[in-house]
Amino acid sequence: MVILLLAANLPAWEPNAGDMEAAVSESDFSKYFGNLTTWLNQKVPADANSIPQAAVISLLKDPAVADALAQRQFIAKVGLDRLSAFAKNDQANRPFLIWLLKNRQALELYLEGATPCKLSAREDNSWSLSPGALQIWKKIYYADPDSRQGIYLRLAMATALHPPGTGAPGSGQQKIPSEPVVRYKHFKTAHANKELLPSFDKLTVWDYQFVVSSGASEADLTWGREMVRTWNPSFLKNERVVETTSSMWRRNSPVPHTDFKAVLDGGGKCGPRSSWSVFICQAFGIPAIGVGQPRHACVAYKSLDGSWQVAYGKGWNASRLDGMSGPEFVAGVESRSFARAFSQVEHLRWLASALSAKPQAAAIMHIAAGISKSTPTIKRNLDASEKADEMDADPGAKAVAKTGPANRQADAKAATKPETPIQVAPGVIHVEGADFAETGGITVWGGEPRITVLDSYIGGKQLLFQQGMASCWVGYKVNVPETGIYEMVANVATINRGQSLFVRSFGAMAQVKQAKASSVWRGQVKNLGPQFAVDNNPSTRWAVNFGVDKAWIELDLGKPTPISTVMIDERAYEKVSKFRLDYKAGDEWKTILEGTTIGALYAKDFPQVTAQYVRLSTLDCSGATGGPTFWEFSVGTVQDGHAWIDLPWTAGLWQTTKPVDIRLVKGSQMVWIFAPYQRGVAFKSFELKPKDK
């Protein structure tokens, strides 16, 4: 009777820190788990027909119930035996577990972050938590005290759940994945240094998994951010770094994809482009996943408005990613976007799984289903895709810069550093790229035919010679102290090998009094007449009609003049396949030289003659259209300054070119820089230094 009396007076078991810590210390969670289960069962009305939704939601808000529910779900998902083994295997694991089990916010964040995206997997509730993830989390916990709260807590959890290299393999990824602690610290440091895009601060644990899991090296992730900021910071506007994919070459790459610098340089078909898209988003802290489609690969990423988008392929209906069809993924992601409802449903699911009586569990799940059904449906076109036109083509980027000094506005406002004062050596002429007097271009795929002016990350402005231009140019007014040869260097950033710029000055060749031609394009003498081929302005030209192969342009030098060299610019359109240069001796035309192709720069010396009239005749043109056109045609005894600047491959970072020699004439003159068709060259400045005699 005494025993029965004592038993009757013992208080019912309540969740308490002492029993929890004892379970951790003894590395045995079975008793504590059983007590949690029993206690939670007692909190739910026995009659399954009288469980009102409001009462259940209120129950979930009870701190004691919320603590017990999160602890039980965590233990259940790790598994009694596996969690006990984790506590037993390492003495350092126990304080970590005690901290975690006492921290309901951390438990809930971890459980909700690990919850599968696929709706059917959530409903099945058979997913589990790996002790290996706990081991990673524990290492981060001890390595960095900041990882125990706030954004870095979420980042630590994500790194544990989805460590580096656990995404789909692809081009440019490192063979041995990074250590998770190293990856966590990399993104923590990048965040502290404000290298990541602002949306990174608002991501959930689930979101962060698709950032930290990148298979790229930390060196590549760092480079990727610096490259975009240097080469083309306009991609930072509205967090559109995914569009750097448009700058990759679509070809079978001759460059081995050893890292992501090589991927960007060499390009490739859809596989490397998909890998690049995922990488560059993740480098800036944007969640991204590779997408498989029929005979294609592309990317899905979280856009600035919080929705996930598929890009560079077909729409969601044609997609598979993260073990799901595209529509399944969208449905799962959108359910997470309603965070309060998502959390309520998951907590109800945890409670239902703890209940022993099936009718009670079914009643709780019925409430959860009602909340899910009440969540608004987001209407979207599942066949739509961003940049879908670039699946099989590379139309390039549009040039959108304004022209003229008064309208030179940057396309993007990137976080820039204070501009460092430029130290110029005595006698050196320094010219900033944005200080041009004139610009123009010829487009291939549309867009405004101009260079783009951007705010430079290192201060000041910079230019971008746009991808998708057949030719693009800028002209600078330069005050030259003395006539002579100058060494020219430029500060550039390139993302591909084998690119070049052409520089040209004027003033050394013979002056032209008048020019006339055999014909002019559709009679438009005011716009395309022969005078534009002799105006020392390579942004203007003379042209004739399509279908015309034979045409001529004649120079009147005003008086008999010695000539021994010729320069011809047939840039961009390059149609001539046979030509002749003549001069007039009395009433007779005499041939100076003959040739075949001309191209962007034709410069040739010949035995000196004296002439007032010189004629360039096209005798044949390649292709079906004909219609030759010349930007510049000049003769004299000394050639104008000109040179090709071979651009180094800089992996998108600033570098100074090797010097080239260019002849300049004393006084104010124009120096022109041309970009032939290329992949986009960033241009900061150039310098001219008199060459030692």
The per-residue pLDDT for 477 is 96
> Which has the closest alpha carbon to 640: 543, 530, 534?
534
Tokens of 183: 């990856």
C-alpha span between 83 and 89 (Å, rounded): 10
pLDDT at 4 over 60: no
> Which has the closest alpha carbon to 157: 113, 216, 214, 100?
113
The per-residue pLDDT for 249 is 77
Whether the Cβ atoms of residue 106 and residue 153 lie closer than 8 Å to each other: yes
Q: Which CATH class is domain 424-501+644-690?
A: mainly beta
391-439: per-residue pLDDT in tens? 865 444 333 333 333 333 333 344 455 556 677 888 999 999 999 999 9
Domain definitions of the chain by residue range: 12-148+339-375, 164-338, 424-501+644-690, 514-639
Q: Does domain 514-639 have CATH number 3.30.479.10?
A: no
Contacts of 536 (CB under 8 A, 6+ apart): 506, 507, 632, 670
CA atoms within 13 A on the CB side of 280: 27
The per-residue pLDDT for 671 is 96
C-alpha span between 234 and 232 (Å, rounded): 5
Average pLDDT over residues 351-380: 92
C-alpha span between 169 and 206 (Å, rounded): 20
What letter does residue 386 receive in the DSSP assignment? B
CB atoms inside a 10 Å sphere around CB 675 = 25
292-328: per-residue pLDDT in tens? 999 999 999 999 999 999 999 999 999 999 999 999 9
Q: In which band, very low, low, confident or very high, does the pLDDT at 225 lie, cut at 50, 70 and 90?
A: very high
Separation in Å, CA 693 to CA 384, 428, 438: 64, 16, 32
> If one looks up domain 164-338 in CATH, what number appears?
3.10.620
Average pLDDT over residues 574-583: 95
CA atoms within 13 A on the CB side of 582: 17
Tokens of 626: 């004909």
Angle at 399 between CA 287 and CA 687, to 5 degrees: 100
Judge whether 164-338 and 424-501+644-690 match in fold: no
Angle at 437 between CA 434 and CA 443, to 5 degrees: 80
**What does pLDDT average to over the chain?**
91
124-144: per-residue pLDDT in tens? 888 999 999 999 999 999 999
Q: What angle do the packed helices 53-61 and 63-78 form, to 10 degrees?
A: 80
Instruction: Provide the 3-class DSSP secondary structure of residue 50.
Output: helix
pLDDT at 500 over 60: yes
Average pLDDT over residues 186-195: 98
Which residues make beta-bridge pairs with 232? none
CA atoms 609, 611, 614, 620: torsion sign? negative
Angle at 213 between CA 210 and CA 216, to 5 degrees: 120
84-123: per-residue pLDDT in tens? 999 999 999 999 999 999 999 999 999 999 999 999 999 8
C-alpha span between 551 and 621 (Å, rounded): 10
